Structures are given as structure tokens and as C-alpha cells.
Structure 1
Amino acid sequence: MRPEDSDLLLAAVTAPGREREVTRDDILRHFNTTDGRGLGLRLLREAALERDPVGLEAAVVVCNLFGFGAEHLELLIDLTSAGWHEQHENVVSMLSKLRDPGGVVALRCAATWVPSYLDWDENRALAVKAIWGLGGIAGAEAEQALLGLLEDEDEIVREEAEVQLRRRRA
């Protein structure tokens, strides 16, 4: 991804006290397309192929602005465990929103993996997001994944799995 592309896309991110500098229409015009969802998929693919961390961050912005769906599933699964980027929490959140049983194995792995750049996170945000994602997927496979997490050595993982299992049974 060209620096001017990523700069434009990252300027579309909002934060408290900061207005969005770039609109969805600005992005579509810049990339000469009317299909924002397709653009997000294309940018995800390019970032993965090039192992481009900045490009992936920008692609995630596009996907969250324009939406994503089943056509993104396989790529999100691959990105969940890829060690070349630092977007794992965002990727897991996106995968979780799909609520697709195809994502169970990837979410289960993300619940127990701590990338080196997240060693500092005692709250295990990546694990919690992955476990909540598992909790939102119907079916026996997700249930079994959560049951397996009850045996994890990490207390947060065990507790969050228990919360999700109770929620599923309520």
C-alpha cells in the first residue's frame, strides 16, 4: 500500500475529541470504486500477501467502515495467527462478529496465544475477545472449545470461558 493510501485511510479513524478527517465518500473516490466492502477485502488480501502491517491496519479501517462478511472469513482466520502484524485484537473482533462456525478453531487458538507484543497485557484482551467470539457462535464445536478452555492454566481464560458457557445456557 502506498503511504498516501494508508495516510488517507488512517485519517478516517475517529477518536474521542477528534472528528473524522476523511469520509467514506472520500475513500471511495480516492480508490475509484463504489464498493467499499469489496475494497476492504481487496486491501486485506494485499496486506496479507505483502505482509504489510500498516496496510493491514488501514484495511481493517476500511472493513469496519464499509462492512465485511463471509467472503472475508478465510482471510480473517489466516490473519488471526499470523505473526507479522499487530492487529490481532481487531482481526479477532471482526471474526467474532461474523459468528461463523468456521472461525471456531482460530478463535480457540487466539484465546490461548499471547503474541510477544502483547506480553504486557495482564488483562488478556485478545483472549477475552476470542472467548466472547466463541460464546457468540452457535453449535457444539464452539461449546467444546469453551469447555476446553476451562482447563487452561490462565485464570482469566478459565473465568471468561465459564462466563460464556453460563451465558449460552441461560
Structure 2
Amino acid sequence: MSSWTIAGTLTPVPAADHPDLVAEPVAKALSSLEGPVGLVEIDPNLADTAEFCEAYSSPLAASANCVVVSGKRAGEVRYAAALVLATTRADVNNVIRRRLDVRKASFAPMDEAVALTGMAYGGITPVGLPSDWPILIDSAVAASPELIIGSGIRGSKLLVTGSALAALPGAEVIDGLAR
């Protein structure tokens, strides 16, 4: 197991040994990640990034947030996941809208995002998303040596490398995805 420096007060364990602590689609996709994948169990009430970082002394700059974005083109709804550092915001109105080739892009409604991903709101992660979705990854995320991301549930977090995320099926590393 890698010695993760970003776990703060938490003790990471190998994610593959604890499929019960991640959402089902995430458990099925863990083997597709390259390199070590750590897991930390947390209080579900502290899953939101700022609260998590404060409670567990984990650096905010090492957290990456995954958002589900949708837009319509010719009556067809198009989805993508965007992964940006927690210290930034995804450029939905320009970069993501153009990548999806839609007139208007916005965050997918919570109930829709939860239903389509099989993951809990506040825990959605790029690991285990529908295979036809592009996973748009900001270049700063891809370059990060250690990251904390969601696990598909609010009761845990995954520890991964940016290069492992950039190697996910459907992943596209984009300069300027985040502002």
C-alpha cells in the first residue's frame, strides 16, 4: 500500500479489500484503476469537501470534486463528468458546453445524477460512471501525485493519483477545464 501523505488524521487501507465501503459501480470498476488506490472511512455527515478537510486535517488542494453536467442537442441529453481540484470551479458554460457540443450546459439535477450513476449525491466519483460518458479531467488534477475523491457513497473517500484518473476509460485531460 502506498504511503499517502494527504490522508490527514485518517489511516488509509487498500480500497480493493473493502468493496463494502464504496458504491456498487465503484467496486466493480476499482480494478480498472492503475496504481495503488487507498480508502478512508469517514463520517458521512463530513463528506462535503470543506468539512472533510477541516475535520480530518487533509489539504483542500489535494481534493478533487466530480460534477455531473448535462446539455441537450437535437432533443438528445448528453452527459459528462468533470473533475477539478476543490480549490477551483469547472468551466461549465464554456469549456464543457463546447466539449458536449450543446447550446447550454448545466449541472445535472441531483436526483438524475444519483439515478444515472448509482452513487450518492456528495460522493459521486469518476470511477464507475456510465461507460458512454466522457470524463473531463482538468490538467491540474491529472498532474497531481495524490488526490482524495469520492467513493460513490458519503461514508468513505478514495485516494488515487492524477495519472490513474487520467488513464480511466473515457477520460480526457483538458487544459483550462477549471477556473
TM-score range, shorter-chain basis?
under 0.3
Higher relative contact order (CA 8 A, sep 6+): 2
Report the TM-score when normalising by structure 1. Answer: 0.25
> Which structure has the larger Rg?
1
More strand by share: 2
